[in-house]
Amino acid sequence: MLKSGSSETENLLGSSVENQFLTSQPTVQTLSKTRKPRWSVIFFHLFFKAVAIFFYLFGGFFFNSFALIFVLIILSVSFDFWTVKNVTGRLLVSLRWWNAIEEDGASSWKFESKSANALNDTEMIGSTQPTHDSTLNTQFFWLGSFFSILIWIVFAIFSIIRLKFQWTVVCAVAIILGSFNTWGYIKCSKNSRKQVQDMAKNFLISETFSRVFANTNEK
DSSP 177-206: HHHHHHHHHHHHHHHHHHHHHHHHHHHHHH
Domain boundaries along the sequence of the chain: 37-214
- The proportion of the chain whose per-residue pLDDT surpasses 90, expressed as a percent, equals 42
Query: For residue range 141-193, what is the model confidence (pLDDT) as tens digits?
Result: 999 999 999 999 999 999 999 999 999 999 999 999 999 999 988 888 775 55
**What's the whole-model pTM score?**
0.64
Instruction: Return the pLDDT at 144.
Output: 94
Banded model confidence at residue 37, pLDDT cuts 50, 70, 90: confident
Instruction: Return the pLDDT at 61.
Output: 93
Of 44-58, 76-90, 95-109, 121-135, the poorest mean pLDDT is in 121-135
| 162/156 Cα distance (integer angstroms) | 10
